[in-house]
Structure 1
Amino acid sequence: MFEQTFKNIDDVLWKDAGCGSELDYVEQTSWVLFLKYLDDLERDRATSAELIGKTYTPIIDKEYQWSVWAAPKLPNGKIDHNALTGDDLLDFVNGKLFPYLKKFKLSATNANTVEYKIGEIFSELKNRLQSGYNLREVINLIDELRFRTHAEKHEMSHLYEDKIKNMGNAGRNGGEYYTPRPLITTIVKVVAPAIGDKIYDGACGSAGFLCEAFDYLKNSKSVAANGSGPLIPNNGSGLSTKEWETLQKRTFYGKEKKSLAYIIGIMNMILHGVEAPNIIHTNTLAENLADIQEKDRYNVVLANPPFGGKERAEIKQNFPIQTSETASLFLQHFIKILKAGGKAGVVIKNTFLSNTDNASIALRKELLHNCNLHTILDLPGGTFIGAGVKTVVLFFEKGKPTQKVWYYQLNPGRNLGKTNPLNEKDLAEFVKLFEKRRNAAEGPVTENSWNVDGRKVAELVDADLSVKNPNTPEAAPLRQPQEILEEMRELDKEAENVRTVIEKVLNLDFKDSQITTIKEKSGNQINQE
C-alpha cells in the first residue's frame, strides 16, 4: 500500500539542497514519520481511554499536535490549503517545534517512556530540508500513511527495513547500519531466546537484532521442557496479556553511540510494534567492566559490533584486556554482561580467530575457559556488502569451559554481492545441522562442518581458532623458485627447437620430392617435439 509513497518522499528529498544521500533521506523521513506515528498512538490511547470511561491527557500540547500544525483537515478530509508552508513552516519547525520536543527529555520520569524518546530524538537531529515547500510535500505524503492496524505496521516495517538496507551502499559508512536480515534471522533461530529472557545488543545500530528477536518471540511460545532449544509456533493462540507486556517493557535492551543510528533504531523498533524501545543513546564502551553488577546482566546477547574501530586510551582503561580494537572491547563487554548460563550470537571479523597480538590471544583464552564456544559459523566474503571483510559468528554460553567447537563453513556456491546477496536458503543447511548439534556433545561432520577439541586449543600458546576445514583436499605444496626457473629454461629450449624446424620447412621449395626429403630428415624430430 505504502511503497509508492516512500518512493515519492525520496523524490522530494532528492530535490532539496539539504539532503545529499540515502542517509539524509532516512534521517529526515524518520523524524516526520515518528511524529505521524505519535499522532496515531495518541489517537489509539484516547479511544482506549474513552471505551473504559476515562479521559486521556495527550503527551503533546495542542499547538504542536500533528493535526494542528502538520495536517489540519477540512470537513472533506483533505489537508487545509491554509496549512503552514514555505518559510512559515520552516520557521515553526526549526524555531518552535524542535525546541519544544527537546524539552521532553528533561521532564520525562525515566528513559523507558515515550516522552523520553521524544526528547532524546529531537535533541540529536535537526531538520535538514532547506525548502519549506519540499517539507510541506513530505508532510502531506507521510500523512497518507497509517499505523493503526497490524497489517499497516507490518508493511511499514518492511519498507523501512528496505530503506535501511539501501543505506549500506550510500557512503558515509552507511554499511554500519545494516546487517543482512537472513543472517540476523539465522542467529536468532540458533540462539533461540524465550519469553522472559532479557535480550541485549550493546551496539544496536538500526536495531535489526532486537526487531528480529521481537518478531520471533511474538509469534512463538517456548515449550522446551529443559528451558533451551527452539521455540515452537503458537498456532495462532496468541500471547497472554502478561507475556505481551513482558515483550513490550522488559525484554529488549540496546545501546547505540551514534545519533543517526540511535534514531533509526528507535523508529525501526516502533514500526515493528515496540511502543517505547529500551534503547539508550550512549557509548557502551565508556562503561567500566568492573562496575557491572548482577542486576545489569542479560540472558541473551545478539550483536554485530563495529569492525575495525579504534577507541581512546581512557576507554581502554575500562577493560582488563586492553586493546584499541573496538570489536575486541565489545566482546569483553558482552562476556561480562551475560548472566551465568546466558547465550550469545556475536558477529566478528575472522581475523580475531588467529591474530597473534597479546590481547587477541588473551581474549580467545578467556572465551574458551569461561564460556562454552560451541559453534563458529564461517561466512563467505561479500556477506557484508561494501564492508570488504570476512566475518564469523561466535555462538557461546557463559559459565562453563569449551569442550568441542563445531565449525560450519558456509559455501553458497556463488559470489555474494550487491546484486546477489545472502539469503535464508543459503543458511538452511547450517540451521538444520545445528539442530542436531544443539545439546549434543559435538556437531555433525559434513563436507562443510567439523569439530575441534576446544580444551586442546585453550592449552596452545596462541589459542589459534582459525577456520581450517579438514575435509577440504590439501593444495599441492609450493615448489622452490630454482625448480620453477629450471623447468622454464627447459621449456624455452624445446620451443627454440620447434621454431628452428618450422623455419627450415617454410624456407624450402615445397616440391613433392623435397617434402619427402624433409619428412625423411626431420620427421622424427618434429614428431618428438
Structure 2
Amino acid sequence: MTLANLVKRLEDIMRADNGIDGTAQRLSQIVWILFLKVFDYKEEEAELDDGYEPVIPQGYRWRDWVPYETATAYRTGDELLDFVNNDLLHVLRGEPTKGADGVERVLFSSESPRALLVKEFMQRTHNYAQNGVQLRQVLDLFEEVDFSDADDTHEFNDVYETMLKSLQGAGKAGEFYTPRAVTSFAIEHIDPRIGETVADFSCGTCGFLVDALRHLEAQVAPGDTEAMEVIQRSLIGQEWKPMPYMLGVTNLMLHGVELPNVTYGDSLARRLLSFEEADCADKIAMNPPYGGITTEANRAAYPAEFRSPESADLFMAQIMTRLKAGGRAVVVLPNGFLEGEDNVRIALKKKLLSEFNLHTVIRMPESVFAPYTSIETNLLFFDNTGSTQETWFYRFDKPQGYKHFSKTKPLTPKHMEVVSEWWDNRVEITDEDTDTYKAKCYSVEELVERNYNLALCGYPTVEEEVLSPEETIAAYRIERERIDADIDAKLAEIERILGIEAGE
C-alpha cells in the first residue's frame, strides 16, 4: 500500500462509525490498535533469541486474532466487537475473565516489565468503535504495514508524525504536541551524549524524547550494539493524561525503543523535597503545561515559596530540583513567567539565577503553538554548573511574508536555522525601526535590578492595522484567551489564600 494514504483511508472508515467522534477519538482508536501490532512485532523479534516466551497469552497476541492467514478465529461484525470489548481488553489489562467452565481466571498474570507495560497501556484504552465491520476494515489496513521492512517502518514513522501534528487542531488535545521545529532545535542545543539520561516529566507525545533518540543514535558507530542498548535505557518520560501517554509510548516504540520508560502519573503530585539522585537527569527538555490551575494537593507538595496556581511554575521548581550537577536543560515557558513579579515567580527566578546558569533566552512568536494557543512563549536554556553571570536574549522574528504561523504555514526546522546561526556567533542586534534590541546580553546584576523581570528583547508594539472580519475575530479570541488565563490564575491565587478549593 501507499502509506501516505493510510491516514486518509483510516479516517474515511472511522468517520462512518457512529462511536468515533472527532480527531482525538480517531487518534485514540488508532493508537491502541497500532500499539498491539507493533508490540507483537517486537515480540516476534525477541523470539529469535533462544528461550524467549511472548508475554501476552496465546489467543490474545495480534498474530492470533487479526491476520486473515494466521488468526485462529477471523472475527468481524458483532463477533469482533464482543471479543474486543468483553474479552481482549479485559485480558490485556490483567483482569480476571470467565472461562467456558464458568470459573474466573487471570490469563495474563506475568509481572515482567514488558507485561506491565502492556497492562498499564491497556488500562488507558477504550474501544470507541460501534461497527464491527468497520473495525475489521481498520485492522486489515494495519495488516498491510510491514514493520520488518525498513522503508515501510521509516515511512510509517512519518505518517505517525503527521497524525500527531493533527493534535494541534484537536482542541485541548493540542497542548500535548510540541512542534518538531522546537523539539529538534532544543535537543540540538542541549546536546545529550551517549551515557547521559534525557528526561521530560510532562512528555505528551514524547516529541522531545524522540528527537533525543535521533540525536543520540547519530553518535553510534556502525555495529555498536552496546551503545544502542545504553540509549534505549537513557530516555525517561512521565505523562498524566491517558491519550498522550498512549501516543507517546507508541511513538517511542515506532522509533525502535523496545521498552519505553514512560510512567503514567502526575509528576507534580510527588513532594518536591523527596526527589533523590536516582530521580534526576543529565538533560531535561520540557514544554510543561501552562495556563493550567494546579490542585491544592499539588501545591501542598511544594515548599511554601513555590506554591503557585500556575502549573508551569511548579514544573520549573521540579526541573531545577531534578537536574543533575553539570546537566543542561531547556524549558518552554510563557511570557508570564518572564514578566511575573509575584512572590512565587520572584523566588523561582532568584533560585534560577543564583544556583543555575541561565545563559540563553529565545523569545518565540505568539503563533508557534497555534491554533491550540497563541500565548507568546520562550525557550529558556540553563545548566547546573554555577550561578548566572550573564544572559543572552534573542528575539526570533517570523519569516518574511508570515503574519502568523498556522496549520497551512507552520513553523519548520528551516525557519529555526537563523536562530542557530546567531547561537554560534552571538552578536548584539539593534532593531533600528523601533529603537529596541533584537539580541542583547545582560549581566545578572542588570537582571536583578529589574526585580527579576526577564522580558527583554521582546516584540515591538506595532501601529494598529485595519483587519478583515476574520482577522478581527481571530485577534479577539487570542486576547480573550490571554485575559481568561490571567483571570483564572488570579482567582486561583485568591482561593488559595482564602483556603477555598477551586470550583466551590
Same fold (TM over 0.5): yes
User: Paired residue for 2:467?
Assistant: none
1:61 aligns with 2:45: no
Gaps of 5+ in 1: 222-236, 437-442, 477-529
1:300-338 residue CA offsets vs partner (Å, 9 max, x unmatched) = 000000120111112101222111100000010000001
1:59-97 residue CA offsets vs partner (Å, 9 max, x unmatched) = 2222112222112317xxxx89x7211111111111111
1:389-414 residue CA offsets vs partner (Å, 9 max, x unmatched) = 00000000024111111111001232
1:102-145 residue CA offsets vs partner (Å, 9 max, x unmatched) = 019995546xx321111011111111101111111111111111
Aligned pairs for 1:43-192 within 5 A: 43-46=44-47, 48-49=48-49, 54-73=50-69, 83-103=74-94, 107=109, 109=111, 113-171=113-171, 173-192=172-191
User: Paired residue for 1:207?
Assistant: 206
AA matched with 1:144: E
Q: CA RMSD in A?
A: 2.1
User: Paired residue for 2:276?
Assistant: 293
> CA shift at 1:55, angstroms?
3.9
AA matched with 1:247: I
User: Paired residue for 1:228?
Assistant: none
User: Paired residue for 1:402?
Assistant: 388
* 8 Å contact kept, 1:209–1:303: yes
1:322 aligns with 2:307: yes
Q: How many residues align?
A: 438
1:305/1:239 CA distance change after superposition, 3 Å: farther
Matched residue SS, 1:299: strand
> CA shift at 1:156, angstroms?
1.4
1:375 aligns with 2:366: no
User: Paired residue for 1:305?
Assistant: 288
Matched residue SS, 2:414: helix
User: Paired residue for 2:331?
Assistant: 346
1:239/1:187 CA distance change after superposition, 3 Å: farther
Matched residue SS, 1:220: coil
Gaps of 5+ in 2: 96-105, 431-437, 464-504
AA matched with 1:8: R
1:373/1:107 CA distance change after superposition, 3 Å: farther
More divergent stretch after superposition (279-288 vs 306-315) = 306-315
User: Paired residue for 2:407?
Assistant: 418
Greater radius of gyration (CA): 1
User: Paired residue for 1:467?
Assistant: 456
Cα distance in structure 2, aligned partners of 1:454 and 1:253: 32
User: Paired residue for 1:487?
Assistant: none
> CA shift at 1:473, angstroms?
9.1
Cα distance in structure 2, aligned partners of 1:41 and 1:153: 13
User: Paired residue for 1:522?
Assistant: none
Cα distance in structure 1, aligned partners of 2:229 and 2:20: 39
1:246 aligns with 2:230: yes
AA matched with 1:252: L
Identity %: 31
* 8 Å contact kept, 1:376–1:408: yes
Cα distance in structure 2, aligned partners of 1:404 and 1:100: 57
* 8 Å contact kept, 1:197–1:299: yes
* 8 Å contact kept, 1:349–1:391: yes
User: Paired residue for 1:337?
Assistant: 322
Cα distance in structure 2, aligned partners of 1:263 and 1:115: 15
Cα distance in structure 1, aligned partners of 2:123 and 2:26: 19
AA matched with 1:67: R
AA matched with 1:303: M
Matched residue SS, 2:379: strand
Normalised by the length of structure 2, the TM-score is: 0.83
* 8 Å contact kept, 1:377–1:393: yes
Aligned pairs for 1:18-33 within 5 A: 18-33=19-34
1:215-261 residue CA offsets vs partner (Å, 9 max, x unmatched) = 1110225xxxxxxxxxxxxxxx4261211100112x10000000111
Normalised by the length of structure 1, the TM-score is: 0.79
Matched residue SS, 2:416: helix
1:429 aligns with 2:418: yes
* 8 Å contact kept, 1:377–1:409: yes
User: Paired residue for 2:36?
Assistant: 35
Cα distance in structure 2, aligned partners of 1:87 and 1:312: 43
> CA shift at 1:272, angstroms?
1.1
Matched residue SS, 2:189: helix
User: Paired residue for 2:441?
Assistant: 451
User: Paired residue for 1:194?
Assistant: 193
More divergent stretch after superposition (1-10 vs 385-394) = 1-10
* 8 Å contact kept, 1:218–1:239: no
* 8 Å contact kept, 1:255–1:282: yes
* 8 Å contact kept, 1:67–1:73: no
